[in-house]
Amino acid sequence: MRTESKTITRRRLAAGLLGAAAFARTAAAAGTEVRVVSSGGFAAAYRALAPQFEQMSGDRLVTEWGPSMGATPGAIPARLARGEPIDAVVMVAAALDRLVAAGTVMADSRTDLARSGIGAAVRQGAPKPDIGTVAALRSTLLAARSVAYSDSASGVYLRDTLFPRLGIAAEMARTARMIPAEPVGAVVARGEAELGFQQLSELRPIAGIDLLGPLPAEVQKYTLFAAGVPAAARQPAAARALIRFLASPDAATAIVASGMEPASRTP
């Protein structure tokens, strides 16, 4: 009986070891889980490119979204400050540079991806005012009963630079408001703002709005998006591979389709 008991024990142990080995092989085959946080400006391109990267690499991307700046808890700097496990960030380059300077993101991982101009939109079916010239844009802004703009780079530019440059800062302070942590297009689509401004790449995917086009060239502001690997990343090698792919010529078609210009093609 004792011999039989020992034999059963050895068989169970062997079976357990074989099961553990099989689990390890399955986990290895499944690839690495890479946690990414991206700002909305790059979201349309990223959604098209993420499945391609997963198929090529065998890694799995776990993605969340958040603004590049601002005081909301979901903002990328706030997430990093409270120690969220993030392997790669995609965000406005100027905000990323501040994280690099602080040592929060590894300097040698910082990579330009694309740039996007600012556009305007109205609710679908509403009259389309003219923004084709600086004078027309100024008149349209003054005539609008309500204007929405983002709490990220494009909105900061409108509030701090464009409105004062057009000499309408006081008027816009009464009719315009900054939208935190939500696409401006969604606010316009609900009818909560007559006119909305944000990066074209963020306006394009929103249903229920009509695009008016980009700002006139004389007052256009391009926002550069870049990616980097946080210093505390758990999967830095896989994150760097993702960033190389997003910056590669293979990603250019999706970036252009989203309304942006690949960084490799910009002056």
Q: Which pLDDT does position 63 carry in this prediction? A: 98
On whether both 144 and 198 belong to a single domain, the answer is yes
Q: Do the domain assignments include residue 204?
A: yes
Q: Do the domain assignments include residue 245?
A: yes
Low-confidence ranges of the chain (pLDDT < 70): 1-30, 265-267
On whether both 197 and 255 belong to a single domain, the answer is no
On whether both 192 and 134 belong to a single domain, the answer is yes
On whether both 111 and 122 belong to a single domain, the answer is no
What is the count of structural domains for the chain? 2
Cβ neighbours around 44 below 10 Å, total: 22
On whether both 105 and 228 belong to a single domain, the answer is yes
Q: Which pLDDT does position 266 carry in this prediction? A: 59
State if pTM tops 0.85.
no
On whether both 166 and 244 belong to a single domain, the answer is no
Q: Which pLDDT does position 153 carry in this prediction? A: 84
On whether both 122 and 99 belong to a single domain, the answer is no
User: Domain span at residue 162?
Assistant: 118-219
Q: Do the domain assignments include residue 10?
A: no
Q: Which two tokens stand for residue 189?
A: 């689509």
**Nearest CA to 154 among 163, 167, 142, 145?**
163
CATH no. for residue 131?
A: 3.40.190.10
On whether both 110 and 133 belong to a single domain, the answer is no
Strand order from edge to edge, sheet including 111-116:
60-65, 33-38, 88-92, 223-228, 111-116, 261-262
On whether both 123 and 111 belong to a single domain, the answer is no
Q: Which pLDDT does position 97 carry in this prediction? A: 98
> Regarding beta strands 33-38 and 88-92, do their DSSP bridges make them parallel or antiparallel, or are they unpaired?
parallel
CA distance 205 to 220: 21
Q: What is the pLDDT of residues 135-155, one digit of tens each?
A: 999 999 999 999 999 988 899
Q: Do the domain assignments include residue 21?
A: no
Q: Do the domain assignments include residue 132?
A: yes
On whether both 70 and 133 belong to a single domain, the answer is no
Burial of 262 by CB count in 10 Å (0-12 exposed, 13-18 middle, 19+ buried)? buried
On whether both 49 and 99 belong to a single domain, the answer is yes
Q: Which pLDDT does position 24 carry in this prediction? A: 34
